[in-house]
Structure 1
Amino acid sequence: MKFAFVILHYNERTLEDTQECVDSIRSVSVNQNYHITIVENGSKDRSLSVLKTLYDESSDISLVHSKENLGFANGNNLGCRQAIEEINPDFLIVINNDTVITQEDFVTKIQEIYNTYHFHILGPNIRDRNNHPQNPILEFPISIEQLDKGIRDLTLKLEVLNKSCFLYWLKYKRKKAMKRLVKNILLASPLNHLIGHASLRDKMSRDIQEGIGLHGAALIFSKEYYEMYKDVFYSGTFMYKEEDILYYRVKKHGLRSIYHPGIVIYHKEDRSTDSRFKIGCSKERFIIKNQLASFKVYRDYIRKDLLQKGFS
């Protein structure tokens, strides 16, 4: 079987991550029929020239360049189209450039899981920098009411942030930071296993889950999936909500979405976004604006479906 890896690269500060990701793919794909497509996503720096120097002569790598930053969905769609046209793979493995694979049977395990479940989308056991699970995602907003509430909340956040970064931190970030600190202390405690402290995601990540939401840092699509859609990801978003819309597709079309703990990938997370900003408030503003735009796109996507079905 043929395996196509698609990696989205942005900003020269993440070049080391992209190299490490490529090296990890190569190390676990020895003797496998694989190919890597790297999308240079409109970086305004040395990224393209460095990637050309590194990989132009590599038979196992194709380098695709976009003159502008297409965002997550469209950048990955560009890479997926290239991979499909070039090698017609049995599996599209779309992973962030800040991920690393160390599992020696990663590729063969995908085929084994497919033979059992015949999945459309497979989500691996993604471990973050603290070795906490990021899969499965337990809840996505899939109603107009939930999305309208999200839009109102984000609009208010942006208004507060635009008035004062300090007030924004007091209102929204202080409590969240304290909760994260307490959680990390509890998880790191040697008594953790004795007292049974574990989140629902921690518990669910130990078992195979079906029809579940999956984290976008690593997604494995079978040929059955990508032959159903013009684009692997819905093309309306720039950044954020891609996973939500993917889950909506799963529910809408009855796709087989599988989370499997037996296939593992490590995620350093947010490196591409972090590389854009040095000031916390600038990054926060960028995130909220893009989340708000994607919430509206997602809401309109669902609303269009409802109208087609004859609902108001």
Structure 2
Amino acid sequence: MKCVMSILNYNDSRRALELAERCVKFDSIERIIIVDNKSTDDSVTFLTERVGSNIELVVASENRGFAAGNDIGAKYAQEKYNPEYILFANTDTIFSETEVNACLSKLKAKADLGLISMRIKDIKGNEEKSAWHFKSFLDYTLFNIWIYRHITYKKGVYKSFSNDFQYVDIVRGSFMLFKMKALIEANFFDENTFLYYEEEIIAYRLRKHGYKVGLLTNYFYIHNHIASGTGNIWFIKKHLDASLRWFLINYYNIGNVKIRIFDFATKICSCETFLIEKLKRRGK
């Protein structure tokens, strides 16, 4: 089988099905797998009643996060279909078969390319961050601090692009098309993170196995952002800190001194977050 698509759903079954039904018509995608990541709404019932012969539903026994959910889809596809390519797309993305075909053509043409994506626009047509560089340990650590983060938010983001394609360090996780061989050699996603920094980690894993990450610069997909229940600032901070810490320890191989520096920075950020949230409540 040439290309399988995996859609990870969490409490967004209507858009998951809409995306699947749109993409199942593409000649370039032969099978679609919707992975329900232990939704707390009626997603499983809704999807079970509506999936068709070329759209399958796999239900996770527990929600272990974005990376683990994607791995469920990838390993299911590998075992059942052994595809040449696998596409991961969020339920809130919009793209056409033209874009998928362009990505597939570039993956096929470049032996060293393991993962490809495209530039991004929001639903209003504004361009969003689509690719960025790896940072130094210092930059990742200082990024914890609110003032530094807001001053340097766009630091390392690719802003100028070649005519049609270029290699980049990291691409956004909302649309990722892999050579299946590359994903398998990289040992899939790292399931030790729940949310955030999955993009850095998979790019790092691919690089360690001789594969590059690329961006189609003359094609765009739309990211129509989900309004989810995970917007609580403390929920976000908890997983941002934990994922970044895991990434730095296990991929940048930082030692005890740097771990202590990083942990101190996260404590500063916690104090900042507390004060900012307090000021916000007073201003209401």
Q: TM-score, normalised by structure 1?
A: 0.71
Q: What SS class does the counterpart of residue 227 from structure 1 fall into?
A: helix
Change (3 A) 1:87 1:264: farther
CA 16–33 in structure 1, closer or farther in 2 if over 3 Å, else same: closer
Query: Take 1:229 and 1:107, find their aligned partners in 2: how far apart are those partners?
Result: 22
Mark the CA change 1:115 to 1:233 in structure 2 (over 3 Å): closer, same or farther. same
The 1:206/1:19 distance shift into structure 2, 3 A limit, reads farther
3-state SS of the aligned residue for 1:89?
coil
2:175 and 2:141 map into 1 onto residues whose CA distance is 28
1:74 matches 2:68:
yes
Determine whether 1:59 maps to 2:8: no
2:204 counterpart (223, 248, 252): 248
d(CA) in 2 for partners of 1:294, 1:72: 12
The aligned residue for residue 144 of structure 1 is 137
Which residue does the alignment assign to 1:3? 3
Amino acid at match of 2:36: E
Aligned to 1:17: 15
Q: What count of residue pairs does the alignment treat as equivalent?
A: 253
Amino acid at match of 2:182: Y
Instruction: Provide the C-alpha distance between the structure 2 equivalents of 1:255 and 1:305, rounded to a whole number of angstroms.
Output: 24
Shift in CA distance, 220/285, structure 1 to aligned 2, threshold 3 Å? same
Secondary structure at the aligned position of 2:127 is classed as coil
Structure 2 residues not aligned, in runs of 5+? 257-284
Larger relative contact order (Cα-Cα within 8 Å, sequence gap ≥ 6): 1
**In the alignment, which of 174, 181, 191 is matched to residue 217 of structure 1?**
174
Q: Name the amino acid aligned to 1:241.
A: Y
1:283 aligns with 2:239: no
Is 1:44 the counterpart of 2:1? The answer is no
Other structure's SS at 1:266 match: strand
Separation in structure 2 between the aligned mates of residue 92 and residue 257 of structure 1, nearest angstrom? 15
Q: Indicate the SS of the match to 1:276.
A: coil
Query: 2-side partners of 1:40 and 1:146: how far apart?
Result: 35
Residue 233 of structure 1, CA deviation: 1.2
Aligned to 1:294: 243
Q: Distance in 2 between matches of 1:303 and 1:106?
A: 34
Residue 124 of structure 1 aligns to a residue in which SS?
strand
Does 1:120 find its partner at 2:76?
A: no
Q: Deviations over 1:237-266 (max 9, x none)?
A: 000011111232344344221111344321
Between the aligned residues of both structures, percent identity stands at 26
In structure 2, distance between residues paired with 1:104 and 1:253: 29
- Deviation string, structure 1 residues 162-215 (Cα, Å, up to 9, x no partner): xxxxxxxxx899x89xxx9xxxxxxxxxxxxxxxxxx97453276421143211
Gapped regions of structure 1 (runs ≥ 5): 158-170, 181-198, 308-312
> Residues 136 and 212 of structure 1 are in contact (CA less than 8 Å); yes or no, is this contact kept in structure 2?
no
CA distance in 2 between partners of 1:234 and 1:205 (Å): 31
Partner of residue 194, structure 2: 238
Counterparts of 2:102 and 2:232, CA distance in 1: 38
| 3-state DSSP of counterpart to 1:62 | strand
- Output the CA distance in 2 between the equivalents of 1:73 and 1:205: 30
Shift of 1:130: 2.9
Q: Deviations over 1:149-171 (max 9, x none)?
A: 345x3xxx6xxxxxxxxxxxxx8
Go from structure 1 to structure 2 and tell me whether the alpha carbon gap of 1:233 and 1:200 turns closer, same or farther (over 3 Å shift): closer
Q: Structure 2-normalised TM-score?
A: 0.78
For the pair 1:208 / 2:204, whether they are aligned, the reply is: no
Change over 3 Å in CA distance of 1:201–1:35 after alignment to 2: same
* Bigger share in helix: 1
